[in-house]
Amino acid sequence: MKLVHASDIRLGAGFCGLKLAGDKIRAGLKSALIRIVDYALNEKADLVIFSGNLFDNHEVSKNLQDFAAGQLRRLSPIPVIVLPGNRDSIADTSFWRTWEGIRQPSNIYLLSDKKKPYIKIPALDCTVYGLPQSGQEDGGISRKRLGPLQSSKFHIAIICGNMADLGGGDTAAEMLGQYDYVALGGQSAFLDLSCPHYRAAFCGAPEQLGFEDCNAGNLALIQIDGPKKAVVSRVPFGKFEWKQVEFQAKEIANNDDLLLKIREMAGPDVFLRVKLTGLALFESALDLQMVQNTMQDEFAYLDIIDEMIVFPEDVSEVKASEKTILGQYLRLISKKLKESDESEKAHLEKSIRIGYSLLSGREPW
């Protein structure tokens, strides 16, 4: 039996602070579901499991519900098992309770009944067990709560949570060991926890959704050749690339130099954060807003963070003779800058740049 295991797609998620890139991410997550379905069809999977957080919350628009159901129905007659997770829990106000995706005839099965936490699939001689999240503190997952093993050849458990929910140690091993495979969800990183006593894995999220969201962008492909004979394979899957780079101001000669460095990393699925640090070189005449406006359409998201120091603590570091007008200007503005509050600082820094350019015989940028 071949099983495709996915989780934490988070359809409909909001992404504050990413400007219009949030729309691109939401579209990318819908694309990820389409590609998961395509992948399962190409692999001729016998079963597809979503181990939590198919949606980002339990208030999902009708259009998004219909989109997800339409994609999962493309897998028919392959059975699809969906477990509500900690984000899209099956609370009293949840859309799951009226979701038309599971209306018959359908190949989609929702693990939503705590009194009967399993679904039998006769065609595969398989039973799938799972407890939905309700949005309340459910306590640990136990063998008792998942119910006794049913009369099937294969037994698969789905759990959205963490290993602590299982009790840990020998208790967890004893519980997990009764299943041929345990599909874990609720975290974005892939993690294969398989050992001689059981086979279990977090497949992780199919896409990375933040700069700190490392080790995401995977599915899991499970081959079960007999009872207790499951092989877990990680399937690299994500398209999004999240990159963070830092440049010292002394490394950037001018605007064209910065444009060239950034363009080398461009791509429609690239989310890039560039941080500029160190002592700003006035002679480079950097216009970061111009660079941002020029390059932002070549990325899914681009953020240029200016953390450069516009004036050194020691004015002697500035290469301008004290006898020149430029040197006197720099010393005067340096004194004002040290005495300024935060509201004045930005204006003074701009004055330094413009004044330096004018007194150096350049056009202000």
pLDDT of residue 358: 56
Contact status, residue 211 vs residue 305, Cβ threshold 8 Å: no
What pTM did the predictor assign? 0.83
Alpha carbons 266 and 273: distance in angstroms, whole number: 12
pLDDT of residue 322: 53
pLDDT of residue 270: 96
Alpha carbons 27 and 21: distance in angstroms, whole number: 10
Residue 318 CA, chain-centre distance (Å), reads: 44
pLDDT of residue 287: 87
Contact status, residue 181 vs residue 230, Cβ threshold 8 Å: yes
Alpha carbons 336 and 333: distance in angstroms, whole number: 5
Alpha carbons 17 and 163: distance in angstroms, whole number: 32
Domains of the chain as residue ranges with CATH: 2-236 (3.60.21.10), 241-359 (no CATH)
Nearest to 160, CA basis, from 181, 132, 123:
132
Query: Helix, strand or coil for residue 41?
Result: helix
Per-residue pLDDT of the chain (365 residues; tens, 9 = 90+): 999 999 999 999 987 667 778 889 999 999 999 999 999 999 999 999 999 999 998 889 999 999 999 999 999 999 999 999 989 988 877 899 888 888 877 899 999 988 899 999 999 999 999 988 876 555 556 555 787 899 999 999 999 987 666 655 666 778 888 999 999 999 999 999 998 889 999 999 999 999 988 899 999 999 999 888 999 999 999 999 999 999 998 888 889 999 999 999 999 999 999 999 987 766 667 889 999 999 999 999 999 998 887 655 554 455 544 556 666 666 676 677 667 776 776 676 666 666 655 555 555 44
